[in-house]
Structure 1
Amino acid sequence: MADLPQIESIIRDGRELLAAQSIDQWQGTYPNTAVMVDDIHQGWTVVLEENDEILGTAAVIPGIDVSYEQIEGAWLTQDSPYLAIHRVAVSSHHHGRGLAGELFQRLFAQADQSADIESIRIDTHPDNRGMQHVIKKNGFTETGKVELKGMDLQGVKDFAYERLTANVKPAHLNQAVFTK
């Protein structure tokens, strides 16, 4: 909880950057303080820090994500344990340093050490080309579109991505994705 003010500041930075780019993501009340506090209490918040300064943050959520239950397209895996990454943001004072990628790489290393996690899923707004670039650059495969649930964003369909971990079991791969 001691990190909450810095996390909120970074989320505000992200909201302002998106607004400056005319991207209609995070322009309402989401994500708000209650969401960030819940992330912390659930143990989902991760931060990237340097010299006691938080440079970036994300929520890493295990289990079923209701927004990912239906997809226009196909996930790489089916019926396998995954992590969902949400609310990724980097401090505006440190843009251009590749910190989102560094945050992802550290998350991947931890996921690869967990025998239960077979993939990582993430989504982003169709207009957020910067985040799309970071996601693809870090080894995610675009899998389709998802409608976000429980965020008062009716009709918005984010681009969905998935990245396999070192633990993926061949039986859990969605074979339809690999057919011609």
Structure 2
Amino acid sequence: MKNQFRKATLDDVIAIWDILKQAIERRKQEGSNQWQDGYPNLEVIKKDIEKHVGFVLTENETIVGYAAVLINDEPEYENIKGKWLTDDDFVVFHRVAISENHLGKGLAKKMMSCIEQYALDNDIYSIKADTNFDNVAMLGIFKKLGYAYCGKVYFRNSPREAYEKSLK
């Protein structure tokens, strides 16, 4: 299986939205309130792509995952209740989702590895991210990949667990 991590194009929107709808439903089935408020949505994805921050993970040309990957662009992170490991430039990722048909293959970890490489390619040595307190899968990935818990950040009045990984 050949994986590729690339910038998303507007031609990818429908496949990306299908994957995100599956993830939204999965979060609902798990009893989480994360992504149950109309976010993310199709417009958010289109804006990601237009701003060149939407990325897809493909397997043999089929889109199997999505993430928005930004550099130094998360204003809410300035208001952390806690302390980041670094104050340097950082890559942040949001809206990570893997296709329902491809769960359990380690693709989320593969995508995180690609995001780390993207950071290094841009001479950035910090990755910051957040997730809901009950997103067991993502919390487990953070732990396995060596992310440090740094505190809480808030989005739409909802607390998120904030993590950082130093790549130095």
Question: TM-score if structure 2 supplies the norm length?
Answer: 0.91
Determine the structure 1 residue equivalent to 2:99. Answer: 91
Deviations 1:83-112 (A, max 9, x none): 110000000001100100000011112212
Residue 63 in structure 1 maps to residue 72 in structure 2: yes
Quote the RMSD (CA, aligned, Å).
Answer: 1.0
Determine the structure 2 residue equivalent to 1:165. Answer: 167
Partner residue of 1:5 out of 10, 14, 25: 14
Residue 21 in structure 1 maps to residue 30 in structure 2: yes
Determine the structure 1 residue equivalent to 2:130. Answer: 123
Deviations 1:113-132 (A, max 9, x none): 222x1311000001111111
Give the 3-state SS of the residue equivalent to 2:94 in structure 1: strand
What CA distance in whole angstroms lies between the structure 1 residues aligned with 2:47 and 2:106? 27
What CA distance in whole angstroms lies between the structure 1 residues aligned with 2:91 and 2:61? 27
What CA distance in whole angstroms lies between the structure 2 residues aligned with 1:113 and 1:39? 20
What CA distance in whole angstroms lies between the structure 2 residues aligned with 1:127 and 1:17? 12
Determine the structure 1 residue equivalent to 2:42. Answer: 33
Determine the structure 1 residue equivalent to 2:7. Answer: none
What CA distance in whole angstroms lies between the structure 1 residues aligned with 2:92 and 2:116? 12
Determine the structure 2 residue equivalent to 1:81. Answer: 89
Q: Show the 5 A alignment for 1:146-161.
A: 146-148=153-155, 153-154=156-157, 156-161=158-163
Deviations 1:17-37 (A, max 9, x none): 000000001112100111100
In structure 1, give the amino acid aligned to 2:108: A
Deviations 1:18-75 (A, max 9, x none): 0000000111210011110010011101111012211111000112311101111100
**How far does residue 147 in structure 1 lie from its aligned partner after superposition?**
0.8
Question: TM-score if structure 1 supplies the norm length?
Answer: 0.85
What CA distance in whole angstroms lies between the structure 1 residues aligned with 2:30 and 2:50? 32
Extract unaligned runs of 5+ from structure 1: 167-180
Residue 103 in structure 1 maps to residue 111 in structure 2: yes
- Stretches (4+) displaced over 2 A: none
- Find the structure with the greater CA-based Rg: 1
**How far does residue 138 in structure 1 lie from its aligned partner after superposition?**
1.7
